[in-house]
Structure 1
Amino acid sequence: MSHAHRFTGKVVIVTGAAQGIGQGVAQRVAAEGGSVLAVDRSDLVKDTVAEITAAGGKAAAFEADLETFAGAQAMVAECLKLYKRVDVLINNVGGTIWAKPFEHYEEAQIEAEVRRSLFPTLWCCRAVLPAMLKKKKGVIVNVSSIATRGVNRVPYAAAKGGVNALTASLAMEHTQNGIRINATAPGGTEAPPRKIPRNAAKQTRQEKVWYQAIVDQTKASSLMHRYGTLDEQIAPILFFASDESSYITGTVLPVGGGDLG
């Protein structure tokens, strides 16, 4: 199925673009004619941009820590400097750091999970709004998770529940200003090993058991009883980012093989 021109003439920020879903989204947006600002806190994001430009696409890399408002503001400023506007923001930063029952989380770990999986989306939405409001036009796609109902990652679930609430509330505030805000909620996704692990510490035997419980529950909760592919997660994100979804806003779409999260 070809969507060759969905992003022609559009300026699209993709966060978390160094690997995984974010990298795939950035590559596809560029292949469909968009000008991409690929953002990550890792300099590996430059590799994503090199691949895009080698394929004839238009992209630039920007390194920022999006767990801070300053990082989000710098990202938007860079996009306005390079491309003069922002048409689409795709918020893809987040991910479980630890996997264990809630009573085993330490205070600092709970805060770290929320900083990782709620604040980048919160800050980036806040940072991009002034530019979109000025043009009375814009699209935001947040990447949430079906893990809002799941085991062994309560702080992450709470953060992603926050992303869902943010999506609905922001849409209510700003649809009349020409801005659409939606989210996809990916289920378990088969991806290549991460170039930078979310948690560098070696798993203990108990931690492996706790993590396996997540895998088992994810597959059991999916009507298809399997993980999805990267392409299966990327496609609905691109749909929400494009004008094809022009009559949809304030919606969280579960992409989990029938698991509604």
Structure 2
Amino acid sequence: MIFAGRFAGKVMVVTGAAQGIGAGVATRAAREGAHVVLADRADFVTEVEEAIVAADGRAVSVRCDLETYEGAAATMAAAIAAFGRIDILVNNVGGAIRMRPYAAFEPQQIDAEIRRSLMPTLYCCHAALPAMLEQGAGTIVNVSSNGTRGIRRVPYSAAKGGINGLTQALAMEYGESGIRVVATAPGGTSAPPRRVARNPQGDNAQEQAWMAEAVAQVTSSTFMKRYGTLEEQIAPILFLASDEASYITGTVLPVAGGDNG
């Protein structure tokens, strides 16, 4: 369902916007009137920009590595240069790289999981705050996970738990400055095959078996016994980003078929 004009005049930055939830959030927000800044390190983020513009939307894309602070700062600078302000930031970058028992993780693999699923959100919140503080208003929607409780992905769980803590602390610190900070916690979500591999090194047979165990746990833990759809994740993100949620801050909303993580 499209709510025409819901984001009219709003500038929205969406990270991880080349595919999946991020691309869906950006595309629908543009249809609802937002001027959208699409941030991703994948080359094909330009395809999302082109599709939005072809549908008479306003969008610019930024290729950047949000696992670095420089990438986050460059994204926010591009938003200001293109549209003059940042009203909404949707932090969508993240995802488990490997699935394995915690004892089987190597130290550098633990670091990589934290860097992928926590640092982009930390960096982007920090980089966007100056513009929002100057405006005296802004909304940040973090995409967390119900995977703070689960098997075969302890470092990822820790990273997403960090996002929940960040959401609540940042909301408390900046609520009186007119800035709302909220999050969704998606459960397992059905999506088209990734165009960039989750684990570029590939999974061996044992890792594939561990992945199957994690998938079975995620499905069995939900009350509905199924994965969610992309649309079922996109809609709550956009609701929290909108003025309809103007008295909601510091909240982490589970979107996981009853499994609160």
Please state which band the TM-score falls in when normalised by the shorter chain. Answer: over 0.9
5 Å-filtered alignment, 1:1-261, equals: 1-261=1-261
Q: What secondary structure, in the 3-state scheme, does the structure 1 residue paired with 2:129 have?
A: helix
Using the TM superposition, give the Cα deviation of residue 205 of structure 1 relative to its aligned residue in structure 2, in angstroms.
1.7
- Work out whether residues 114 and 155 of structure 2, in 8 Å CA contact, stay in contact via their aligned partners in 1: yes
Q: What secondary structure, in the 3-state scheme, does the structure 2 residue paired with 1:211 have?
A: helix
Question: Number of aligned pairs?
Answer: 261
Amino acid at match of 2:80: L
Structure 2 unaligned runs (5+)?
Answer: none
Using the TM superposition, give the Cα deviation of residue 200 of structure 1 relative to its aligned residue in structure 2, in angstroms.
2.1
Measured against aligned partners, the alpha-carbon deviations of 1:187-215 in whole angstroms (never above 9, x if no partner) come to 00000000111212332221111001111
When the two structures are superposed, what TM-score results if normalisation uses the length of structure 2? 0.99
Using the TM superposition, give the Cα deviation of residue 178 of structure 1 relative to its aligned residue in structure 2, in angstroms.
0.2
Amino acid at match of 1:216: A
Q: Give distance in 2, aligned partners of 1:215 and 1:226.
A: 10
Q: What secondary structure, in the 3-state scheme, does the structure 1 residue paired with 2:39 have?
A: strand
Q: Give distance in 2, aligned partners of 1:138 and 1:56.
A: 25
Percent identity for Structure 1 against Structure 2: 58
Amino acid at match of 1:29: A
Measured against aligned partners, the alpha-carbon deviations of 1:144-176 in whole angstroms (never above 9, x if no partner) come to 000000000000000000000000000000010
Using the TM superposition, give the Cα deviation of residue 2 of structure 1 relative to its aligned residue in structure 2, in angstroms.
3.5
Runs of 4+ in 1 over 4 A off after TM superposition: none
- Work out whether residues 62 and 75 of structure 2, in 8 Å CA contact, stay in contact via their aligned partners in 1: yes
Q: Give distance in 1, aligned partners of 2:161 and 2:106.
A: 20
Q: What secondary structure, in the 3-state scheme, does the structure 2 residue paired with 1:6 have?
A: coil
Amino acid at match of 2:208: K
Q: Give distance in 2, aligned partners of 1:200 and 1:64.
A: 18
RMSD: 0.7
User: CA 1:2–1:27 in 2, change beyond 3 Å: closer, same or farther?
Assistant: closer
Q: What secondary structure, in the 3-state scheme, does the structure 2 residue paired with 1:67 have?
A: coil
Q: Give distance in 2, aligned partners of 1:177 and 1:112.
A: 34
Q: Give distance in 1, aligned partners of 2:56 and 2:202.
A: 40
When the two structures are superposed, what TM-score results if normalisation uses the length of structure 1? 0.99
- Work out whether residues 12 and 86 of structure 2, in 8 Å CA contact, stay in contact via their aligned partners in 1: yes
Measured against aligned partners, the alpha-carbon deviations of 1:95-140 in whole angstroms (never above 9, x if no partner) come to 0000000000001100000000000000000000011001110000
Amino acid at match of 2:161: G
Q: Give distance in 2, aligned partners of 1:202 and 1:144.
A: 25
Using the TM superposition, give the Cα deviation of residue 73 of structure 1 relative to its aligned residue in structure 2, in angstroms.
0.7
Using the TM superposition, give the Cα deviation of residue 247 of structure 1 relative to its aligned residue in structure 2, in angstroms.
0.8
Structure 1 unaligned runs (5+)?
Answer: none
Q: Give distance in 2, aligned partners of 1:6 and 1:259.
A: 30
Amino acid at match of 1:142: N
